[in-house]
Structure 1
Amino acid sequence: ERLGDIEAAVVMDLKDGGIFSAEKGRGAKYNGQEIKPSGISNLKDAIVSVDISRSIESIERTLPIMGRVKCLRALGAASLEICYVASGLLDAYIDLRGMLRTIDFAAGMLIIRESGGVFLQPSGEDIPQDTLLTEVKRFSVIASANRSLFNEIMMLINSIRKAT
């Protein structure tokens, strides 16, 4: 019923039928094999996926991040991109649009956290665990391989906000 009540999650990669899964307290898996995020801890070495909208504000907020990464991707599937971070295929996923619904990321959130990755709002705050899964509430999120990478992304976002 609530985000914090989720005990298990599954996300399917439709391109190859692969299954990402997690059970609370038991780790995360891809096709039954344990997964972990990459060890990349700085943007210059990171492969990052970014969701942006057509709004100038969204583009301006993410542009400085785009120029600092090793490689940029935009896949358009939030839960799958979060799972890619959980498994080391991506190093970070950033969505600053404030458009993601709880149901768009709930499964991916459990999977990345069970893998050892980070999943927080750009402010560094957790998503409220009492959020109803049926509630149409929208969020901006960052998924990253580790806290170091998250902190670098968050610092850039905060410096952009201060400059505007």
Structure 2
Amino acid sequence: MTDDAYDLVQELGAWAVDYLADRRPTSVRTKRDPADLVTETDEAVERHVRAEISKRFPSHRIVGEEYGTTGADDAPTWYLDPVDGTTNFVNGVPWFSFSLSLADAPTGPDCVVAGVVADPSRGEVFTAQRGRGAFVNGTPVKVSAATTLTGGVVLTEWSASKPWPGMSAFVEQLSSRHCTMRIMGSSALTLASIAADRGTAAVKGSFHPIDDLAGAFIASEAGAITLDEAGTRTLLPERGGLLVAAPGVAQDAWHAWTDGLGGSS
């Protein structure tokens, strides 16, 4: 299954770049609130990807952003976000992505089989297969060799359209270390960026596998440390958020994050 799944994520990542490049939405609706946007493109991409997965892995479960969950709870599970960063996509900001991953276990640091994050604006496809490293357009990538947060960049994202609890305190912790934060607008692409040494760490204040699992997995295959709020190494935290960081800054970044949450030191 592993090789076949990796072949599929590579194929679908390349397809997503071709399909989404230079495309603009023609209809926009809201879902849960006025800041939660969906377009006909989100739905078209998800339909295509679901069809391809179901054709090749008919017994698998699929959890998608637009069409929910299909399949048995105990089956290997695909997590799909057809356009991660729809607000950017709608507003012409060239930072959005296609995200897809396959998990064969409910939690732990080795629960993901394969993943892809495709960046149509730059023509880049981030991929990873369990135990075999991470790649951008087929070229191996590694996380930063940094040993300090000072002078670096840490990425994060809003929780929906709002700051996550502890985010302001985290910004203060980074500032005291002379480190800068960036909020770009696509969780999957933010996390995958760490794989390619574009930032030393990223924090999601609340983790959602549809948005976040593929990017976190790709970063981990490039050498990143992934920690939940308790400091446990995982890719699917049972609650709360997730830190993805280069090994040399992981502990300091974790403290900067969890001290703001009132976590242990």
TM range (shorter): 0.7 to 0.9
Q: Following the alignment from structure 2 to structure 1, what is the Cα–Cα distance between the partners of residues 128 and 254?
A: 26
Q: 1:139 to 1:17 in 2, by over 3 A?
A: farther
Q: Is the 8 A contact 2:143 2:246 kept in 1?
A: yes
* 1:41 and 2:135 aligned: no
Of 17-26 and 58-67, more deviation after overlay is shown by: 58-67
Q: 1:144 corresponds to which letter in structure 2?
A: A
Gaps of 5+ in 1: 132-136
Query: Bigger radius of gyration, 1 or 2?
Result: 2
**Among candidates 65, 73, 84, match of residue 182 of structure 2:** 73
Q: Following the alignment from structure 2 to structure 1, what is the Cα–Cα distance between the partners of residues 213 and 253?
A: 22
Larger RCO, structures 1/2 (Cα 8 Å, 6+ apart)? 1
Q: What is the Cα-based RMSD across aligned positions, in Å?
A: 2.5
* 1:115 and 2:222 aligned: yes
Spell out the pairing of 1:1-164 with structure 2 (5 A cutoff).
1-2=76-77, 3=103, 4=105, 5-53=111-159, 54-55=162-163, 57-67=165-175, 68-96=177-205, 98=206, 100-127=207-234, 139-146=240-247, 148-160=248-260, 161=262
% identity of equivalent residues: 23
3-state secondary structure, aligned to 2:244: strand
Q: 1:37 to 1:30 in 2, by over 3 A?
A: same
3-state secondary structure, aligned to 1:40: coil
TM-score when normalising by structure 2: 0.52
Q: 1:35 to 1:64 in 2, by over 3 A?
A: same
3-state secondary structure, aligned to 2:166: helix
Gaps of 5+ in 2: 1-75, 78-102, 106-110
TM-score when normalising by structure 1: 0.80
Q: Is the 8 A contact 1:122 1:140 kept in 2?
A: yes
Q: How many residues align?
A: 154
Q: Following the alignment from structure 1 to structure 2, what is the Cα–Cα distance between the partners of residues 24 and 59?
A: 31
Q: Is the 8 A contact 2:114 2:130 kept in 1?
A: yes
3-state secondary structure, aligned to 1:85: helix
Q: 1:79 corresponds to which letter in structure 2?
A: A
Q: Is the 8 A contact 2:225 2:233 kept in 1?
A: no
